[in-house]
Amino acid sequence: MATQPGTAKRTHTITLIPGDGIGPEVSGAVVEILEAAGAATGVAFDWHRFAAGAEAFEQTGHYIPQDLYDSIEENRLALKGPVTTPIGGGFSSINVTLRQKFELFANFRPVKNLPGLQTRYPGLDLIIVRENMEDLYAGLEHVVVPGVVQALKIITEKGSTRIAKFAFDYARKHDRKKIHSIHKANIMKLSDGLFLSCCRKVREGFPEIEYHEHIVDNTCMQLVMNPFQYDILLTENLYGDILSDLCSAFVGGLGLVPGANLGTECAIFEAVHGSAPDIAGKDMANPTALLQSAVLMLHHINESETAERVQTGLEQVYREGKTLTKDVGGKAGTKAFAQAVLQAMESPVAVPA
């Protein structure tokens, strides 16, 4: 039974980075929905808000202020909107820096259809498990001589083994049947070869899980032909980034797919999408991806009742299909969509069997 508002039993302190571009709009919607769901289920949130990126630089002279690092260190939990990464010169990616700093080695991205939304592949349910700290994202580039630049792809036994272990542990715990390691070891024999050999070694401890290896370019074709052949895609950092955007298109686009950056100490939850400057400030952004990231966060902190309340409200809005944002074929703005989710949480409709 729902708890009376104002009778919160538990309070969670969470670092909130609204982000830039569409970040403030989607995170505003998500906070409002979480507050309402929490009020009904006896959960309160104490949000510690911080700017990051250009806005933080203007205020503090740092792209990631020390206070923000301290807050994540203390709370061990953050919900993060997108933060623009300057292209070319300048500060390295804020997202990558945070993942490195807090050793968030696993990037977990479930790609699942929402009920009622017309997509090319109804019923799709796959997961991308992406190594989050190594590969070309190590940011090690230098000019060898003018006109020649070298970028270093770092793959380690430690990093590959722990991401493989994460994927197999997840599969066992959640009864997922199949893992594909995605690689390009035919060309990058040493680096991707090491990644594969670590996956194979970890795999030995999980004989009940079907295991395959696919080359990344073939995987792109296979995914478009028949994504249902995949269950969990286990992959390095860059391939994981590219496959995430590709797979998001199967379920309605970047506005929908959530993500979690997980380490042994901390977790940062954020959508797959970027700051989408083309639609920023226009009340057009779809907050679903960040909202579903927040649902992952609620499960992570064992607030499953609140998570279910949000997810059920969200799915009801999609099932009804009347108040959807433009990216998924609707006419509603971010704010109207958020109001529809709030209303759906208040007045749930039984799902037809």
User: Which positions from 80 through 109 interact with ligand ATP, judged by CB under 6 A?
Assistant: 85
| DSSP strand pairing (125-131 vs 106-112) | antiparallel
User: Which positions from 312 through 351 interact with ligand ATP, judged by CB under 6 A?
Assistant: 327
Q: Does 286 bind ligand ATP (CB under 6 A)?
A: yes
Q: For ligand ATP, which residue of 32, 67, 245, 305 counts as binding (CB under 6 A)?
A: 245
Q: What are residue 232's DSSP bridge partners? A: 127, 179
230 annotated active-site? no
Rg of the chain over all Cα atoms, to the nearest angstrom: 20
Q: Does 285 bind ligand ATP (CB under 6 A)?
A: yes
Distance CA 181, CA 52 (A): 34
Whole-angstrom CA distances from 2 to 40, 41, 240, 271, 350 are 5, 5, 39, 28, 17
Nearest distance in Å: CB 81, ligand ATP: 10
Alpha helices per DSSP H over the chain: 23-41, 54-60, 66-75, 94-101, 157-173, 191-203, 216-225, 237-250, 288-300, 304-320, 334-346
Number of residues that bind ligand ATP (CB under 6 A): 16
**96 CB neighbour count, 10 Å cutoff:** 16
137 annotated active-site? yes
Q: What are residue 47's DSSP bridge partners? A: 14
Taking CB under 6 A as the rule, which mask of x and - marks residues 1-30 in contact with ligand ATP?
A: ---------------------x---x----
Stretch that binds ligand ATP, among 3-11, 27-35, 227-235, 269-277 (CB under 6 A): 269-277
Q: Does 255 bind ligand ATP (CB under 6 A)?
A: yes
Q: Does 274 bind ligand ATP (CB under 6 A)?
A: yes
217 annotated active-site? yes
The DSSP H or E segment spanning 77 is: strand 77-80
Taking CB under 6 A as the rule, which mask of x and - marks residues 43-82 in contact with ligand ATP?
A: ----------------------------------------
Nearest to 72 by CA among 109, 100, 92, 91: 100
Q: Does 278 bind ligand ATP (CB under 6 A)?
A: yes
239 annotated active-site? no
Nearest distance in Å: CB 157, ligand ATP: 29
Residues known to be catalytic: 137, 184, 217, 241
Interface residues with ligand ATP (CB under 6 A) are 22, 26, 85, 245, 254-255, 273-276, 278-279, 285-286, 289, 327
